[in-house]
Amino acid sequence: MNELGRKIAAGRKDRGITQTEFAEELNVTRQTVSRWEAGTVMPDIDKIPDIAAILQVSCDYLLKDDIQEETHTPVKGAGKLLAETVGKKVRLQFFDGEADPDLYEKDCLVLGFEGSWIKISAETKKGVQEKLIPLSSVLSMMITEEE
């Protein structure tokens, strides 16, 4: 079992959720959850915010091995500003070398924010896509429209 699998299993059990119930909430099979917990496969990166929300932990806690205990601290400063963008359309600019070509000159709907990650939805050439983006790659964010 890897650290992520251990955290998923422990969090699920702490909340009294069966693998089947957890799988249903995430639209995956029970076997998939079992494989995550055993460490034989890793969840898709776009599932991490959903897993974190169900387990009531941060994405950072799940993804970083050096964070052993989840501590809930109030959102303040820049985190508070970013959290207030949820549900709003924004235009992102990326640092050089970090740009996402699907998001160039596109308005994105902010679906969620937690720790050092932002989940957005955007209309791309491939249709509407949800993406999980590390905030460290974002140079600026301009609100273009409120939902």
pLDDT computed for residue 72 by the predictor: 43
CB neighbours of residue 44 within 10 Å: 11
| Residue (of 29, 13, 138, 11) closest to 85 by Cα position | 138
- Between CA 137 and CA 40 the distance in angstroms is 29
Map out the domains of the chain with their CATH numbers.
3-63 (1.10.260.40), 78-146 (2.30.30)
Residues 82, 86, 92, 98: is their CA dihedral positive or negative?
positive
| Residue (of 79, 144, 69) closest to 106 by Cα position | 144
pTM to 2 decimals? 0.52
Radius of gyration of the chain (CA): 16
Cα 128 to the center of its chain, rounded Å: 17
Instruction: Quote the strand ranges of the chain, DSSP E.
Output: 88-94, 107-114, 117-124, 127-134, 138-146
pLDDT computed for residue 83 by the predictor: 72
Average pLDDT, the chain: 83
Q: Which residue would you say has higher pLDDT here, 12 or 77?
A: 12
Taking only the tens place, the pLDDT of each residue in 55-114 is: 888 888 888 877 666 544 444 556 667 777 888 899 988 888 777 888 888 899 998 876
**In angstroms, how far is the first alpha carbon of the chain from the final one?**
42
pLDDT computed for residue 75 by the predictor: 46
